[in-house]
Structure 1
Amino acid sequence: MTLKASDPEGHDASQLDFHHPFTPYDVQLEFMRTAYGVLEKGNGQVGILESPTGTGKSLSLICSVLTWLRNHKRTSYEASCKAATKGMENEPEWMVETALRRKREELAKKWEEREAQLEKIREQEKLQEQRGRLSKRQRLDDGGSRLRMKKNEADEDAEFLVADRDDNDADGASDDPYKHLSKETRLLMSKVGLGGGIRAEEEDVQAEDEIKVYYTSRTHSQLTQFISELRRPTFPPSIPGDLVATRKTGQERSAAETIKEVPLSSRQKLCINPSVSKLGSLAAINDRCTELQQAKSEKKCPYMPNAENIAKTHQFRDTVLATVPDIEDLYRIGNDLKVCPYYASRTAIPGAEVITLPYPLLLQQSAREALGIKLEGNIVVIDEAHNIMDAVANVHAAGITLSDLRRARQMLAVYVKRFGKKLKGENRVMVAQVGKVVESLREWLIAAFESGVQHGIADPAEILRARGADQLNLYELVHYIQESKLAYKIESYANHIEEQDSESAQHKSSPSTPVLHILVSFLMALTNLSTEGRIFFEKIPGPPPDIKLSYLLLSPTHAFSSIASSARAVILAGGTMSPFDDYKAHLFPNLDPGKITTLSCGHVIPSSNLCVWTLTSTRPLSSGGMSGAAPDLFEFSFQKRSDRAMMQQLGAAVLNICSVVPDGVVVFFPSYGYLDELVSVWQTASGPVAKTVWERLAAKKTVFRETKGGSSDETLQSYTKAILDPDVPKDGKRTQNGALLLSVVGGKMSEGINFSDRLGRCVVIVGLPYPNIHSPDWKARIEYIQSSTMTRLTEPTTNPDGSQAKAMSREEAQVLAKQASRDFYENACMRAVNQSIGRAIRHMNDYAAIVLVDRRFGTERIRGKLPGWIRNGMVEGSESKGLPGLMGSLNMFFRAKKGC
């Protein structure tokens, strides 16, 4: 879909000033105009935008989205002013003008007072920095070493015994999700619009119904990088320019307005209470935090926002809105003010324009509700969105091992031995039910472990049948464990006993794994709809050997639908989004195609800086096409890739590439197993005298290889040193030219690693890394896609005029369903390939060669799933020119770059 955008005043988006801090490239302008158009049209629009790494994607996102947001706000101000004259159509003109002027002055005064307050805070922050009073972020310690006193029985009862549910419910309605908070906290949260109470009007907080931008990315470091980019551009005020006037002269001034941004994160990142943050696991921290807020708790968290520290909470809010902070800044501000940044950050949400948060906090509805995030009518921007479907699956994934269950059994036994006789009523019943579930899962896994089967699909009813656990209400059990904090109490008591034992034994014990929290996550996964996921078992090699049950979400559609249906617009952006079809089919299957805009930007580098070659054979092919006898043709399919002659020829091709390419060469293989197999062949001599391929490669370049489970940081560091800071022999003669890195598609080196400039002058992709279609999880995925596609195509649909459309026949639907599953399988492979290719060419002055080694890269179907900038850089006819043609092309390419 081609979308033409305009600003609120009707101007073509091509004429807009996006306030980019630098002179934007043409591809950046194209990206910004497209994003702006998606937002302007709104009404559930979706933009799937691809802009290669090194093209300034983050700044393009910021400038397009914030330009649209400020324009939209200015239009809203004008509409608000005009609304003040509603009903005055029959009044004299001077009365209408007076009412309009008063409303405009009222809005301007309110905006200027708020901005002046924030500016004052910014000046105070700068002054503090100049005086050196702001220290680097550091976690509070718990006062250093202190004497540990053995808890008496009464203390243990108070801390570890599950509270009686009847007593807990006496304080308020059991259906109140905020009943665990103190009255003071509930009052404060009510004032800022959280907790379901009536929000008090606060003149210095902007209306909560203003449109906000929710920006999410995969990692904490990516969010931090985005926020640093967010500080670069300046944007005009969110109020019309003619309203921004100095009071004394009445002259219009051109003012900038700092972006109001709030970063959200988990308690694990933001907790400043040392007794809680030291717990380590997120689940334990969450449980302990909520426990410390109980009205009956003798040791309430002193940092929780309440009536006593409301002034500091407001100071926290204003400082956040004034300074464009990242997570570390948020922690520091809360630590300085001695107010919880996790809860206090919510008070800044109503006045924020941009809210940054990691994937899990956006993708889980329960997390959004806990943080007070409302997507209705707002903008959602998902960066690094090439892995969004995997991210949705990972957020809802869960697993538990046999060793976890054995540990859980031990913890329960220790807890029941100490507190069993003191447990009353429901507590006694529920603890017994947890024991039943643990025993049932443990017995099932023992039987599976003793069988000869390595992996497979598990029946949810079977794994809970052993002790009658299949008759339990898992919803009630999970709810009880969460409300009572049972997992936290049992694990805390077990840790307490272990600490006492370790002290008596005069050695320090390591904290135990929070296995009961792992169990709760797995039970929650079991309560999901059976059609959406499957449970798998897989043996884990030792020592000691183990076996694991895992829940896998088969489709992200249902989990993502609440986001897609609520937001005004959703933008998926990434460096390698191709191929696009999966996002449409599995994230937005029911969305009108006219609401989806796709864009694949070119690169900012000149065409002369990229050489893409398809190597299908060692010898040139006849003009008739892909003819030739094996092993002349490279095809690294599972059935053919172990051909030793072809493996030796691949080694010769890599050796030739290393002879021509300077500095760094990175070769990506389909799997760790195949890399090991290849290295073994290359290290084997082909004759009585000849050197092995491995020895000849080592003579050309220093060779490194990625290993499964090995340290990628150490390998990358050594590889970098060999290229940028090599050890030169005493005679000054170097026989090697840079380094060769053998890696794996989908491995640690294939995503997030920057092989810019000399580190990646050539990237070689060997074969197509199709997932193992015979594995239980991929079998389940393929079956799910086929069955869900069949259901959708064979069900009758309603036409726009209300008439019933004829459903497709089962035969026709079956053909399309099989094609849909094949496309999904192939697209997963190509997304991994595209990510590996993207490791090179990281900025506009960079240059590199990309070599695709497999005859299948020469087919139109596969080429069509490569990013546009790669397709545009392909050497025409390379698939038929063989290794001699590649060597000639590489020679010419790097000779032209000599001295660059």
Structure 2
Amino acid sequence: MVIPDDDPDSPYERFFPYDEPYDHQREAIEGIAEALEDASDVLLEGATGTGKTLAALTPALEHARRTDKTVVITTNVHQQMRQFTAEARAINHQESIRAIVFRGKASMCHIDVGYEECQALRDTTHDLVDAESERADLERRQRDLLEESQAGDGDAAEARSAIMDELESVGEELQTLREEQSTCEHYYHNLTSDTDDFYAWLYDDVRTPDEVYEYAERQGFCGYELLKDGIEGVDLVICNYHHLLDPFVREQFFRWLGRDPSDVIAVFDEAHNVADAARDHARRTLAEPTLERALDELDGSDDPRADAARNVLTTIHTALQETYEDALAFGQRETIEDDWEDLAIDNDDRRDDLTLSLLQHYTGQGVSDDLASALKLGQALDQQYEDAFKDGETSVRKECPTLQAATFFEAWLAESDESGLYPVVSVRRDDDNGDLYGRAELYTAIPQRVTSGLFEDLYATVLMSATLRPFDVTEDVLGLEDPVTMAYGPQFPAERRRTYAVDVPALFASRRDEPELQDTVAGVIEDAARMTPGNTLAFFPSYAEAERYHDRVNIEGTRYLDEPGTRAQELRETFTADDDGVLFTSLWGTLAEGVSFDGDDARTVLVVGVPYPYLDERMDAVQAAYETAFDGEDAGWRYAVEIPTVRKTRQAMGRVIRSPEDFGARVLIDRRYTEDAEIQMPEYAVRGTFPPAERSEMIDVDPGKLKFGLLNFYADVEAYDGDPPAP
């Protein structure tokens, strides 16, 4: 039954673009609407096909329209951005909304310059337009005064003489700005042309960033700046995570919106990724080459503050080199390649090794005093570089390494021993000369250092994902206070899906090289591929394991290998065009979540092993921080490792069965997924970490029996075209 237009209890109906919501979707909409009335945050877990996007957007848009707020929906998955755009277009066709799809500047710049250069070009272009406007105003005034003076007004003649002097000065400024070409032509057209047609076109529908870029390119505009100028007061913004999670970008973003955070309702999609994304956006690093450039910069300065700055930065440089040299194990230097490799420098009972080395080597009036001098000098130099670029004295906007180094190490000394922050030194090999160089980093182990303040400032948030449970862990990690929680399991017919846990020996990293175990796993993969009427997805704990079994299994169909550094989208398109292939990939790759394999694109998904991450120093730091923050030794492993790992598995399982008409099988290949593991090897079992409804659907099978289970299932749903394969 369609929600009636005159139902006073269903005001959101005008923003729902289809005939009616599913029953569970209606329940979620009403629950979120109630939460928004109370300005409460919401955690929404919904399996594939539960309509989470519209369940969140529908009440959010209704509440925002009624209370003069803006809705921001954000994700870290490109495919979801496209899906949001499609849903927003559907809403707009029913109820007119002003929506903008926002993307980072780098991908929308028409002249391909960096952020700092863009900012300087914008300022100089503003100066040019202001000067032209001032000259036009002066021209009008001098003409009026000329007429008055010709009519015999002596005061007008004197005033006109002063105006003519101003005109000459403005003319010289304009000539300098034009000759040095330190302006942006595209942005100039934004400021001087009629942009009404652009905004009429923009808000006639929901436009993608590519469409905006192409339209602006044809008209000679800067599409990115037009979006920024036109974003104020819109109903809906679609963007990626960094617009909200990066503190610097977020401040500007709210300013462009013309909104205080308290007037923004934020919807986070794929919200199980928010914790890791918050860590990424909070990271602060400084590499050794930046320190070296800072010292070169100071050598060329005659500012009286340069000596103190040089003293402290030289000491820091020496300390950094000593720290990574001392931390390298015997023979490790020769194994370092061009990827950053972390070295252990943290100490349980004292400051980190880098700080200790710095304090040991420093001599002078005081580290803090010298850093303050370096910071003030860096700020002065940075302003000089800004002015030089704006005045056309340099063709690029030069960065100030002294400012970067002083800012970073001021924070390092103040915060590196704070709870939730982990000091790291890493090394890599220079591609050009083969030398090693180091990098210092303040790593944020506790995401809520980034997220809790954001959630407090926003009016309300809706965090949604297919894998948010356990909710209490999500609340703790992100720093949410008493959110409303709701969960909806699979909504499609249960008889059209099967989940098997195959009792092969646990695929511990220490056993993966055993030939007998490899034979068993390869046989299970071959059986699954043979019994599947269509494509099979096979996920592994690493790309190396994916490659191992890609080379080992023997199937009649085509084997596809996803490799790091390759374009997964092209591989996906080739794979889904097949009808009897197996795609071997990593659970930590880009195909494990946020990507749909609808219908015949894939029928069976295999998860081979339990995809625990590599337990490095950072992961140890995260575990230790969680143990401290949440008062329990078990919290470290559970919060940092086990739950995120099971979420990875659940995400991979969700790649198939994407609609009520769809069908498919999910196969977990490892004894740790079985029910017996809870008794036989409880310290390693992971089944209990799955939500109860998902656990109840798991069927334990022996390796040799999987083929019969798949045969019976696919025969029951009449999936085979002709006679089924022989088991």
TM range (shorter): 0.7 to 0.9
- 1:898 paired residue among 691, 701, 719: 719
Q: Please tell me whether the aligned partners of residues 298 and 402 of structure 2 are also in contact (alpha carbons under 8 angstroms).
A: no
- Mapped pair 1:568 → 2:459: yes
2-structure distance, mates of 1:703, 1:576: 29
Match of 1:409 in 2: 292
Cα deviation, residue 564, structure 1: 1.4
Matches within 5 A, 1:370-381: 370-371=252-253, 372=255, 373-381=259-267
Corresponding letter in the other structure for 1:25: Y
Match of 1:301 in 2: 183
Deviations 1:211-248 (A, max 9, x none): 1112222155643441232011258xxxxxxxxxxxxx
Question: Which one is further off, 353-362 or 309-318?
Answer: 309-318
2-structure distance, mates of 1:635, 1:430: 57
- Mapped pair 1:364 → 2:246: yes
Q: Please tell me whether the aligned partners of residues 263 and 355 of structure 1 are also in contact (alpha carbons under 8 angstroms).
A: yes
The TM-score with structure 1 as length reference comes to 0.61
- 1:782 paired residue among 602, 615, 623: 623
- Mapped pair 1:610 → 2:497: yes
2-structure distance, mates of 1:766, 1:514: 49
Match of 1:461 in 2: 355
Q: Secondary structure at the match of 2:660?
A: coil
- 2:268 paired residue among 356, 360, 382: 382
Match of 2:469 in 1: 578
2-structure distance, mates of 1:323, 1:463: 59
Cα deviation, residue 261, structure 1: 2.0
Matches within 5 A, 1:672-683: 672-675=543-546, 679=549
Structure (1/2) with the larger helix percentage: 2
Match of 1:635 in 2: 506
Match of 1:262 in 2: 100
- Mapped pair 1:26 → 2:19: no
2-structure distance, mates of 1:291, 1:467: 42
Question: Which one is further off, 384-393 or 527-536?
Answer: 527-536
- 1:214 paired residue among 63, 68, 72: 72
Corresponding letter in the other structure for 1:261: A
Cα deviation, residue 885, structure 1: 4.1
Q: Please tell me whether the aligned partners of residues 270 and 464 of structure 2 are also in contact (alpha carbons under 8 angstroms).
A: yes
2-structure distance, mates of 1:10, 1:568: 27
Matches within 5 A, 1:713-724: 713=569, 715-716=571-572, 719-720=575-576, 723-724=578-579
Where in structure 2 are there 5+ consecutive unaligned residues?
Answer: 129-172, 333-341, 347-351, 679-684, 722-727
Q: Secondary structure at the match of 2:618?
A: helix
Cα deviation, residue 490, structure 1: 13
Matches within 5 A, 1:89-168: none
Deviations 1:70-108 (A, max 9, x none): 4x35xxxxxxxxxxxxxxxxxxxxxxxxxxxxxxxxxxx
2-structure distance, mates of 1:844, 1:517: 58
| Closer, same or farther: CA 390–567 of 1 in aligned 2, 3 Å | same
- 2:634 paired residue among 788, 806, 818: 818
1-structure distance, mates of 2:516, 2:708: 24
Cα deviation, residue 707, structure 1: 3.5
- 1:883 paired residue among 703, 706, 713: 703
Q: Please tell me whether the aligned partners of residues 449 and 539 of structure 1 are also in contact (alpha carbons under 8 angstroms).
A: no
Matches within 5 A, 1:649-660: 649-660=520-531
Q: Please tell me whether the aligned partners of residues 312 and 339 of structure 1 are also in contact (alpha carbons under 8 angstroms).
A: no
Match of 1:866 in 2: 690
1-structure distance, mates of 2:403, 2:41: 36
1-structure distance, mates of 2:201, 2:12: 36
Match of 1:227 in 2: 85
Matches within 5 A, 1:45-124: 45-70=40-65, 72-73=66-67
Q: Please tell me whether the aligned partners of residues 672 and 708 of structure 1 are also in contact (alpha carbons under 8 angstroms).
A: yes
Match of 2:562 in 1: 706
| Closer, same or farther: CA 537–487 of 1 in aligned 2, 3 Å | farther
Q: Please tell me whether the aligned partners of residues 264 and 355 of structure 1 are also in contact (alpha carbons under 8 angstroms).
A: yes
Matches within 5 A, 1:746-757: 746-757=588-599
Match of 1:645 in 2: 516
Cα deviation, residue 585, structure 1: 1.0
Cα deviation, residue 32, structure 1: 2.4
Q: Secondary structure at the match of 1:698?
A: coil
Corresponding letter in the other structure for 2:619: W
Deviations 1:560-613 (A, max 9, x none): 122211222110012333343321111135x2x3xx222222334322221111
Cα deviation, residue 395, structure 1: 0.4
| Closer, same or farther: CA 524–411 of 1 in aligned 2, 3 Å | closer
Q: Secondary structure at the match of 1:704?
A: strand
Q: Please tell me whether the aligned partners of residues 262 and 458 of structure 2 are also in contact (alpha carbons under 8 angstroms).
A: yes
2-structure distance, mates of 1:646, 1:605: 36
Q: Please tell me whether the aligned partners of residues 636 and 768 of structure 1 are also in contact (alpha carbons under 8 angstroms).
A: yes
Deviations 1:694-717 (A, max 9, x none): 3xx334333233344455456545
| Closer, same or farther: CA 304–480 of 1 in aligned 2, 3 Å | farther
2-structure distance, mates of 1:446, 1:229: 54
| Closer, same or farther: CA 308–46 of 1 in aligned 2, 3 Å | closer
Corresponding letter in the other structure for 2:534: D
Q: Please tell me whether the aligned partners of residues 100 and 237 of structure 2 are also in contact (alpha carbons under 8 angstroms).
A: yes
Match of 1:554 in 2: 445
Q: Secondary structure at the match of 1:898?
A: coil
The TM-score with structure 2 as length reference comes to 0.74
Cα deviation, residue 353, structure 1: 1.5
Match of 2:382 in 1: 485
1-structure distance, mates of 2:428, 2:182: 43
- 2:601 paired residue among 759, 762, 777: 759
Q: Secondary structure at the match of 1:393?
A: helix
Deviations 1:248-300 (A, max 9, x none): xxxxxxxx75201234444324444x3xxx23x44554566557667999456
Match of 1:154 in 2: none
Q: Please tell me whether the aligned partners of residues 623 and 635 of structure 2 are also in contact (alpha carbons under 8 angstroms).
A: no
Corresponding letter in the other structure for 2:582: L
Q: Please tell me whether the aligned partners of residues 600 and 867 of structure 1 are also in contact (alpha carbons under 8 angstroms).
A: no
Deviations 1:614-638 (A, max 9, x none): 1125xxxxxxxxxxxxxxxx21234
Match of 1:840 in 2: 656
2-structure distance, mates of 1:891, 1:710: 34
Matches within 5 A, 1:39-50: 39-42=36-39, 45-50=40-45
Q: Please tell me whether the aligned partners of residues 400 and 548 of structure 1 are also in contact (alpha carbons under 8 angstroms).
A: yes
Deviations 1:830-863 (A, max 9, x none): 1211222222223333221101122222347844
2-structure distance, mates of 1:870, 1:487: 61
Match of 1:631 in 2: none
Matches within 5 A, 1:244-393: 257-272=95-110, 274=111, 278-279=112-113, 281-282=114-115, 285-286=118-119, 289=122, 298=177, 301=183, 309=191, 312=194, 320-331=202-213, 340-371=222-253, 372=255, 373-393=259-279
| Closer, same or farther: CA 350–659 of 1 in aligned 2, 3 Å | closer
Where in structure 1 are there 5+ consecutive unaligned residues?
Answer: 1-5, 74-209, 236-255, 500-510, 618-633, 684-693, 725-737, 791-815
| Closer, same or farther: CA 491–750 of 1 in aligned 2, 3 Å | farther
Corresponding letter in the other structure for 1:849: A
2-structure distance, mates of 1:536, 1:302: 40
- 2:422 paired residue among 526, 534, 542: 534
Match of 1:178 in 2: none
Corresponding letter in the other structure for 2:486: L
2-structure distance, mates of 1:15, 1:657: 45
- 1:36 paired residue among 29, 33, 37: 33
Match of 2:666 in 1: 850
Match of 1:160 in 2: none
- Mapped pair 1:588 → 2:479: yes
Cα deviation, residue 554, structure 1: 0.6
Cα deviation, residue 518, structure 1: 8.1
Q: Secondary structure at the match of 1:572?
A: strand
| Closer, same or farther: CA 666–344 of 1 in aligned 2, 3 Å | closer
2-structure distance, mates of 1:290, 1:15: 43
Deviations 1:794-851 (A, max 9, x none): xxxxxxxxxxxxxxxxxxxxxx453464344211111211222222223333221101
2-structure distance, mates of 1:890, 1:487: 70
